[in-house]
Amino acid sequence: MATLPITKRGAEKLKAELHKLKTVDRPWVINAISEARAQGDLSENAEYEVAKDRQGFIEGRIQEIEGKLSAAQVIDPSALEPGTRVVFGSTVKLEDEDTGDSVTYQIVGEDEADIKLGLVNIGSPIARALIGKDAGDTAEVVAPGGLKRYEIVTVSYL
């Protein structure tokens, strides 16, 4: 399996979710299945079916997170060599060349991405257009609304 880049913060978030699934959710669903079994006939027991479905989801999510963590290449942006080049984990302030609007994005892994928080997936069109460029360069992004041009104002490693 190929390595997946993830920030230190993203890895900690996945580890916290995994811990919760194993220590809270898994025991809860096992208890719910036991209680549903105690009610008798399982063929017409909706609580049993719901608990079994939930158990399947929890176990699947545990396997998914463990797989991602085992393939993860954890990158701490604050430990990167300071410079002006856009790389994974860097925070980039952009200015739209048409409107003059400014936006700030951090380039993160797939599981961390949240555009509302300014976290963009490394595989997104905007991130692909920015990677390898330096402060002062112009990045062209093919967006659903057409071609957008952004000037890279600053690059930081937070």
Spans in the chain with pLDDT lower than 70? 1
Q: How much is the pLDDT for 1?
A: 56
Strand 72-75 to strand 138-143: parallel, antiparallel, or no bridges (unpaired)?
Answer: unpaired
Q: How far apart are CA 28 and CA 6, in angstroms?
A: 30
Q: How much is the pLDDT for 65?
A: 95
Angle among Cα 52, 53, 54 to the nearest 5 degrees reads 90
Residues with Cβ within 8 Å of 110's Cβ and at least 6 positions away in sequence, in order, are 4, 121, 122, 123
- Nearest CA to 7 out of 114, 132, 154, 112 is that of 112
List Cα–Cα distances, 1 to 13, 49, 113, in angstroms.
21, 34, 21
Q: How much is the pLDDT for 42?
A: 72
Judge whether 75 and 88 are in contact, CB under 8 Å. yes
Q: How much is the pLDDT for 94?
A: 95
Tokens of 106: 């951090």
Q: How far apart are CA 33 and CA 51, in angstroms?
A: 6
Q: How far apart are CA 42 and CA 48, in angstroms?
A: 7
Judge whether 66 and 115 are in contact, CB under 8 Å. no
Angle among Cα 26, 32, 35 to the nearest 5 degrees reads 145
Q: How much is the pLDDT for 130?
A: 95
